[in-house]
Amino acid sequence: MRVARDAIDPELRRRGALMGRFLAARTEEQLRRGQRIPGVVETWLRGRVPRGLVRTEETVARPDGSRLRLLVYRPATPRPDAPGLLWIHGGGYATGAGEFEATGFRSLVLGSGAVVVTPDYRLSVEAPYPAALDDCYAALLWLRDHAARLGVRRDQLAVGGPSAGGGLTAATTLYARDRGEVAVAFQMPIYPMIDDRGDTDSTRDNDAPIWDAVTNRSAWRLYLGDRYGTDDVPIYAAPARATDLSGLPPTMTYVGDVEAFRDETVRYVEGLRAGGVPVEFREFPGAYHGFDVVVPKAAVSVAATAFRDQWFGHAVRTYTAPQL
């Protein structure tokens, strides 16, 4: 899908064009080099804690003896029996860090008292699938096991995140459903990266700002390694390949209508509904990938964030899932 300039929301055009000059058509090697964030900026982002939140760090032992770092965010004034949210950062599976998204989920924490755990999962440039999934699932088990210490309700654990974080959200809840070890009350896979095949109309030849077809193929090659381009791709790597989505938790998602992940998100929503899963979904016109982060004050971005936050409040009041 080629995206004409006039198809993009006017408030999103300028910044999208500027960022597109640096982020368009990235190769695997460019993804390996990261997002080109200057060192001083990255240091500032990692050290910054949004106003009204406090952050602590924990670690979890991996089977190989290495340690998985977890960031734990709480409201400065904690509330009892808070929901627990596993927030998985985006970045195409290849880039990003949990600290970079704290500003984005700040309103969720302040509005609900939620305790957020975000794993510093292994990126594809360090280790391909299933490393990231293993880390996210380990973080979910840690959240369950430490709920009492964190002031979190064991029957109200949720998972969410954008882009590749949305893909890992969908994968983690699928994995949790099938293993039967931990119950997830609801999920928020936001404009999720879930289909490695790249054969939908919205993905094929997409040249929208921020995340295009070329970058998408490069990122999937890095994440899947030797599995890329084969039928040997598990549903936990690319959840769009799952044919049975029944038994998954209530879901909220949204996507822009000019972005590469539009069609796979719509198909995922249709599959959830066919499986009897309650779903709230919105498609935002003229919006490219990550629009709500790239231009957060645009009217369409404000609407998307309000939709997310309102649904999260509804989910906290409505959905629970007792641990097995």
Task: Kindly report, residue by residue over 132-141, the tens digit of the pLDDT.
Answer: 999 999 999 9
Residue 45 has pLDDT above 90, yes or no: no
pTM: 0.96
CA distances from 290 to 52, 72, 284 (A): 24, 24, 12
Per-residue confidence (pLDDT) for residue 43, from 0 to 100: 61
**Can you tell me the distance from the alpha carbon of 306 to that of 290, in angstroms, rounded to the nearest whole number?**
15
Per-residue confidence (pLDDT) for residue 21, from 0 to 100: 81
Per-residue confidence (pLDDT) for residue 228, from 0 to 100: 97
pLDDT digits (tens, 9 = 90+) for 237-266: 999 999 999 999 999 999 999 999 999 999
Q: In b/e form, how buried is each residue of 202-224, taking b as 16+ CB within 10 angstroms?
A: bbeebbbbbbbbebbbbbbbbbb
| Six token digits for residue 228 | 């890329």
Exposed (0-12), middle (13-18) or buried (19+): which is 104, by Cβ within 10 Å?
Answer: buried
Domain range 5-318, its CATH number among 3.40.50.1820, 3.90.1150.10, 3.40.50.2300, 3.40.50.720? 3.40.50.1820
Kindly provide the residue ranges of all beta strands, DSSP E only, lying in the chain, ordered along the sequence: 53-61, 67-75, 82-87, 115-119, 152-162, 186-190, 251-256, 279-284
Query: By the 8 A CB rule, do 118 and 88 touch?
Result: yes
pLDDT digits (tens, 9 = 90+) for 217-244: 999 999 999 999 999 999 999 999 999 9
How many other CB atoms sit within 10 Å of the CB of residue 106?
18
Query: By the 8 A CB rule, do 120 and 165 touch?
Result: no
Helix (H) or strand (E) holding 22: helix 10-23
